[in-house]
Amino acid sequence: MADKKISKILVPIDGSKNSFRALEMAITIAKQFEATIMCAYSINMQPHSEFQGIISIDKELSREVKKIMTIAKEIATQNGVSFKEKTMRGDIGYNIIKLAQDKKEKFDLIVMGSRGRGVVKELFLGSVSNYVIHSSKIPVLIVK
């Protein structure tokens, strides 16, 4: 990795301790390579969710995402790292891979936590980090 220039790092974030540890690791790498970071939050809303259309739940989710992104941006800014953010809706793993493979974005690395907030889901469906590791075409760094 030392020979390769890293200019853009994708950091999936969900507000968990592990996702913020991943952000800190991404900041360390970004400082070494003078890279930028994009934090991405994916709201897991299925197409036929019973909760769709309930404005109070949508507003609460938006407030939570904004709060998490504000904290992430403050951490990056305090460390002198350029920061962008993106919020998506739908399947989390799929959204991360879709963003990572976006030709306009040109990410060089994904840095993510080993476990996020979806522990119960992980037991039955497999973890998001596991999905990303096996689906990504760019290097993935998992942080515990």
Single pTM value for the model: 0.86
Q: Give, to the nearest 10 degrees, the angle between helix 55-78 and helix 17-33.
A: 40
Burial of 75 (0-12, 13-18, 19+ CB in 10 A): middle
- For residues 50 and 56, is the Cβ–Cβ distance under 8 A? no
Residue 131 token pair? 């999905």
Q: How confident is the model at residue 59 (pLDDT cuts 50, 70, 90)?
A: confident
pLDDT digit string, tens, across residues 101-142: 999 999 999 999 987 655 444 444 458 999 999 999 999 999
Largest pairwise CA distance in the chain: 50
pLDDT of residue 62: 87
Q: Which residues pair with 9 in a beta bridge?
A: 37, 109
Domain formed by 8-143, architecture: 3-Layer(aba) Sandwich (3.40)
Provide mean pLDDT across the span 25-47: 91
Q: DSSP state, 13?
A: -
